[in-house]
Amino acid sequence: MAENKYPMRQPAPDLVYGSGDVAKLINHVMRQGKKSVARKIVYGAFDRIKEQTKQDPLLVFQKAVENVAPPMEVRPRRVGGATYQVPVEVKGGRRMSLAFRWIIQSAKAKKGKPMRIKLADEIAAAAKGEGEAVRKREQVQRMAEANRAFAHFARPR
Please list the rounded mean pLDDT of every run of 10 residues in the chain (157 residues).
Answer: 75 90 94 95 95 93 95 89 89 91 95 94 94 94 88 74
Which regions of the chain does DSSP assign to beta strands (E)?
A: 72-79, 82-89
The pLDDT value recorded for residue 21 is: 92
Question: pTM score, two decimals?
Answer: 0.88
| CATH architecture group of domain 20-153 | Orthogonal Bundle (1.10)
CA 146 – CA 144 distance, rounded (Å) = 5
Q: How far is CA 41 from CA 26, 114, 144, in A?
A: 8, 9, 34
Residue 75 CB neighbour total at 10 angstroms: 15
The pLDDT value recorded for residue 70 is: 94
The pLDDT value recorded for residue 2 is: 62
> Which of 76, 94, 72, 93 has its CA nearest to residue 85?
76
CA 44 – CA 42 distance, rounded (Å) = 5
